[in-house]
Chains A and B, each alone.
Chain A
Amino acid sequence: MSDHALAATPPRLHVERWNPLSAAFTGALVVTVGVLAFAPELFSQGTLDNLIQLYFLVMLAIMWNALAGYGGLVSVGQQAFIGIGAYAVVYLSVQHSLNPYLAMLLAALIGGAISIPIAAIVLWLRGGAFAIGMWVVAEVVAILVSLDASLGGGTGTSAVLAFNLRYTPEQRLRNTYWFALAAAAALLVVLFLLLRSRLGASLQAIRDDEEAAASVGVRVLLGKGVLFVLAGAGCAAAGAVIVAWQLSILPLGPDSIFGINWSADMIFMVLVGGLGTFEGPIIGAVILYLLDTYLSSRMGIWYLVMLGGVAIGVALFFPRGIWGTIQERLSVRLLPVGYRLRERSGG
């Protein structure tokens, strides 16, 4: 905001970024992550296993929200990067005997690197064309992987060897837990800083009106490109966690590592939590995790019918999602990524 705009502001108003509530909450979140780091000392193995699932869901949700909620890019093909991350781990750790956790770190970088040439092809597309264009990309990557016999072909592959050679199952669980927690926290921090930067303001301008943003000098493609590469790296990191968590993966079919069901999960989490809010996707991830843990085995196929149905209902009747609605009603912001104009209570 320029000095001129500030000078025009009536004296009773001031621009606020942090307030006591958001400072307290952000502090509490940092402390929570710190406490969660000690979870392997406190909780059972089953709980750790569940928490890993929650963490990769959070990663997927915030990455999909970064694309759709801030870049206006609805992708139904982010599973391309989930699969790339998972297969990169297998390729590096099983075939090239790298330490699997180093391989997981590299997998995220590979996901980011591969997303650059893909961005050059698909970022020209708008709306639905981008959505299906990304789906085609995911199909192409899945077919290429399934044609490669050294990666297990169509019958899939497993990372179990790489982990078992170096770690006991308990060690694997603890290390994977820490990796997943660190990766989720790192993605949250990167996105938080990105959205608070100058680029973050331009991203929200792009989401609200692409033409208008371009006309006032916002570099639309650059903003979208940064988000796309971040989402590529983030989804690949999530895929790396997924392969370390479930150990064996398949390339083809809706349930596979390249499957369309991941997109259904991501859209559900972000819509229910609140599209375009920073906190919403985390809430959505917790909800999906609870549904998946307590309902999916009991409901069978109806579970996915319900996910799709709820997503339609929320998009139509409740478009701000849970957190967007809370924000609107109570005017609270727990993680300050924007600025707010407030009336000064005192002088």
Chain B
Amino acid sequence: MSWVDAVVHGILLGGVYALLATGLSLMFGVMRIINLAHGSLALVGAYMTFLVVEHAGGSTYVAMLPVLAGALVVGYALQRTVLERSLRGGELVPLLTTFGLLIVIANLLQKFFSPDVRGLASGGIGTANWSVGGGLTIAWFDVLVLVIAVGVLTGLHLLLRRTQLGRELRATAADADTAELLGVNSRAVYARATAIAVATAALAGVFFAMRSNFDPTTGPTQLIYAFEAVVIGGVGSLWGTLVGGIVLGVAQTVGAQIDVQYFALAGHVVFLAVLTCRAMLQAGGLRVLGRLAA
């Protein structure tokens, strides 16, 4: 029975990773950059919510609202200041600047919040469980996170398919220069995409912090998991991100079922296995092409 347990919890854990991976996937899809500071920005969202709760009191669910609004502004400003300039410097510069940002954020958090482990209160739903039967219990909070992840992905899907901004985003992603010729302001489009990405990151960070403890080193770990979800699910596909998150979550919980120490390792191994399969397919494909050419 505990194996079924592990798989069910893994699927729910996938919601957390999918929620964080959404913004990463969106930025990659639109601008072809991987924001290495994505996990750190999510963690900043968690710490800011922590500050709001500490000073103004109240529920985490209310305290996160001003933080999410702030994250939109931060994302917009980040794009207009650092990332826009990085994009002009070529393919490698955004990696270098966002890695610099990751180091700066991790150490600033350590400076201002100390390395102590913290948590965010998750209210009544945080402790409520649903006994399915047969010894299997599901935490309602985990279901909530998965529902929110699906909700954010659906919202983003509708935004991309049904709105003017979505059309501009897709046009810019396909060909920024041609989109410019047709009157799309690609800089403004990029800035809005980053604003949305950072806001979803902050949302993911807050829910992660309500689910488990966090400290200043959590950001990079979460970035790695989110990235693995994106790659496992297939780069650039929003619904693939959800599948990737679930596969990663299941790999981790099943790994932990074998031995608690294998939690992270099992996820990494599945990720590397997916990469290896793709590499072999690609190499095989090249060989087939070579034979056709000969």
A residues in contact (CB < 8 Å) with B: 68, 72, 74, 76, 120-122, 124-125, 127-129, 131-133, 135-137, 139-140, 143-144, 147, 253-254, 260-261, 263-264, 267, 271, 301-302, 304-305, 307-309, 311-312, 315-316, 319
Contact = CB atoms under 8 A, between A and B. Distances in A.
Contact of B92 (A72, A132, A308): A72
Most A CB contacts (10 A, CB to CB) among B93, B228, B269 go to B93
Given A68-B92, A143-B268, A267-B96, A124 B282 contact: yes
B37 to A, nearest CB: 10
Contacts of A271: 96
A112 B108 CA distance: 36
A140 B275 contact: no
Contacts of B106: 254, 304
Given A127-B91, A301-B107, A312 B268 contact: no
B100 to A, nearest CB: 4
Contact of A308 (B33, B85, B102, B231): B102
A209 B239 CA distance: 32
B220 interface: yes
B95 interface: yes
12 contacts: A76-B36, A128-B28, A128-B33, A128-B95, A132-B227, A139-B264, A301-B110, A304-B106, A305-B103, A308-B103, A312-B101, A315-B86
Contact of B101 (A74, A140, A308): A308
Most A CB contacts (10 A, CB to CB) among B89, B93, B96 go to B96
B88 to A, nearest CB: 9
Nearest to B282: A124
Interface string B89-118: 101111111011111101110110000000
A139 B272 CA distance: 12
Given A136-B271, A260-B220, A305-B103, 9 more contacts: A121-B272, A128-B34, A132-B227, A139-B264, A261-B103, A267-B96, A302-B111, A311-B99, A312-B101
B99 A129 contact: no
Contacts of B265: 140, 143-144, 147
Interface of B: 28, 32-34, 36, 82, 85-86, 89, 91-97, 99-104, 106-108, 110-111, 217, 220, 223-224, 227-228, 231, 235, 261, 264-265, 268-269, 271-272, 275-276, 278-279, 282
A307 B99 CA distance: 11
A316 B89 contact: yes
Contacts, number: 128
A140 B273 CA distance: 13
Contact of B104 (A72, A261, A263, A309): A309
Contacts of B103: 260-261, 264, 304-305, 307-308, 311
A264 B224 CA distance: 17
The 8 closest A-B pairs by CB, nearest first: A128-B34, A308-B103, A312-B100, A308-B104, A311-B100, A308-B100, A304-B107, A315-B96
B253 to A, nearest CB: 17
Contact of A139 (B86, B224, B261): B224
A301 B114 CA distance: 11
Contacts of A74: 92, 95-96
A228 B196 CA distance: 36
B100 A309 contact: yes
Contacts of B264: 139, 143
Given A129-B235, A312-B104, A121 B96 contact: no
A76 B107 CA distance: 17
A281 to B, nearest CB: 14
Contacts of A305: 103-104, 107-108, 111
A305 B107 CA distance: 6
Contacts of B269: 140
Contacts of A316: 82, 85-86, 89, 93, 97
Contacts of B276: 120-121
Contacts of B92: 68, 72, 74, 127
Contacts of A133: 275
B111 A135 contact: no
A131 B275 contact: no
Contacts of A308: 99-104, 107
Contacts of A301: 107, 110-111
Contacts of A68: 92
A52 B202 CA distance: 43
A315 B90 CA distance: 11
A132 B101 contact: no
Nearest to A146: B261
B68 to A, nearest CB: 25
A127 B224 CA distance: 15
Contact of A125 (B82, B101, B223, B275): B275
Given A128-B34, A132-B36, A315 B224 contact: no
A132 B226 CA distance: 11
A129 B34 CA distance: 8
Contact of B95 (A131, A140, A143, A144): A131
A280 to B, nearest CB: 14
Contacts of B34: 127-129, 131-132
